[in-house]
Structure formats: C-alpha cells, structure tokens
A = this chain, B = another copy of it.
Amino acid sequence: MCQLLGMNCNTPTDIVFSFEGFRRRGGLTDHHADGFGIAFFEGAGARVFLDVEPSAQSQVADFIRDYPLKSENVIAHIRKATQGGVSLANTHPFQREMWGRYWVFAHNGNLDGFAPPEGRHYRPVGCTDSERAFCFLLDTLRQRFDHEPPFVELYRLVSETVAWIRSHGTFNFILSNGKFMLAHCSTSLYYIVRQAPFTTAHLVDEDVSVDFADLTTSNDRVAVIATQPLTDNEVWTPFEANELKIFKYGAPLKTAPGIGKVAPVPPSGA
C-alpha cells in the first residue's frame, strides 16, 4: 500500500508545507520507503520528479522542498511496493498524453488478478497493477472518444470503468490533466479546502506550523487531498467508499446524485 497527496488550486500555489509532512511518511513516520514521485502541472506542461529512494531521505525530495514550484495541480505518491519491484519504471505518478494533454495518475491499493486486455493506445512500461489500471482507464476513454468529450460524458465513462477496476481490489487514486483533478476512494481518502479567512495549520508528521494568512490573498482557494489527514488542527472530510470526486479551482464540484454508483462495465473482450 502507498500514500497519496493531491493539490488543486485556483491560483498557482506551492505545496512545500503539505509535502514536508507527507514525505516523512516515506521511511520516517511510516514505512512507505520504496520510492516516491511528484508531478506539477504548469499550464498544459507537466514536470514529474521520480526517485527510488525513500522520500524522507531522497535528494530529489530535498530539491522539491528547496525549490518551491507553483502549480494549480500537483499529485504526489510515496510507495510501499505490493506488485512490482522497486524501480523507476514502477514509481508513481505515471504520465501519458491523451487528446493532446498530459494525464498524471497515482494509486494507493492493490488489485488482485487485474489483467485487462492489451491496450490499443496505452500499455504499461513497468509491472505494477497501478500502471495497468491507469493504461486501461485511458485506453477505455480513448477508444470511446477520439477527442476530449464534454465533461459529463467523460465523468460517466470514468465512473463506469473505475467501478469495474475496483471490483478487483482497493483502488484509491488521484488523476489530473492539469485542468481538473479526479480523486476516487475505495478505503481511505480525505480532503480539505482552505480559503479565506485562512488560519494556522499544524502538521501531524512533524512539529511544524504555518499561518496561511501570511502566504495567501483573500481570493486564493486550495484543496488538498490525502490518504490520511496531514494536519491535526483542521477538519478533514473523509470521502465515502466508492466516491469519485472532481476538484476544480480549489474545491470539489457537485455531481449528479448516484452518478458515481453506476454498474461496472467490463472491457470489450474481457
């Protein structure tokens, strides 16, 4: 199992505070020591930093701390290997291009016996269940839509495909294309929305506080999503089981009731 961290904002924001607590779970306050990665969208572009070292000790993670990149969509992951050895090819987040945009994905959980048919457009490079699931999800979308569809159609097909994938096991994930962030919970995922009036937050994993009022303007809004709450003096909202939430401009969007609870659709040929 692994740990997930996502950030979706209405203005480019650095993730230094959240990442500093999160990275300690990679070998220091928790045992997810099999590599880590973090992806930052900047417009349509994306930078993905990966390392096979534990995030608590990684020089790449030190660099992220010392070089506060600002982004509207960030996905980070620290790994406890279940399927697939410790290697760069098996390190999340994974990235692919679809419909002329980058898509970035990270997964927490374990999918048993998940062997989808070979993708027409997307195939895994490493040997994790997670990358298989990501490629299968994108391939399903890409086979149905030659160009990016209206969001409601996209959301519906993601929901159906995710319902089939999660029938194989635990499938907590965060996915972004730089425009919005989709987060799905099987067993454990929390979020918080920070907006004016900003207050002081204190990390769970390290005795560090920050007063967001010093760092923000009154228009800023930031949603942070994590496997477990990162702060101990704020109220984090747990996802429901099998809930697929969309975040845009730093807040969750409302979706039609029941749209996330559709019947699972198996892949053609499966």
Interface residues of A (CB under 8 A from B): 42-50, 59-60, 63, 67, 87-91, 95-97, 99-102, 121-126
Contacts and interface: CB of A to CB of B under 8 A. Distances in A.
Task: Give 8 closest A-B pairs by Cβ, nearest first.
Answer: A45-B88, A45-B89, A100-B123, A44-B89, A42-B88, A63-B63, A44-B125, A59-B67
A260 B225 CA distance: 52
Contact of A43 (B43, B48, B63, B87): B87
Nearest to A135: B97
The quantity of this chain's copies bound in the complex is: 2
6 contacts: A44-B89, A47-B50, A95-B95, A96-B96, A97-B123, A97-B125
B101 A125 contact: yes
Contacts of A102: 125
Q: Which of A89, A121, A122 gathers most chain B CB within 10 Å? A: A89
B88 A126 contact: no
Given A44-B88, A59-B67, A101-B125, 13 more contacts: A43-B89, A44-B125, A44-B126, A45-B89, A45-B90, A45-B91, A45-B126, A47-B48, A48-B48, A63-B63, A96-B97, A97-B125, A121-B121
A172 B137 CA distance: 36
Contact of A49 (B47, B90, B96, B125): B47
Nearest to A58: B67
Contact of A100 (B45, B88, B124): B124
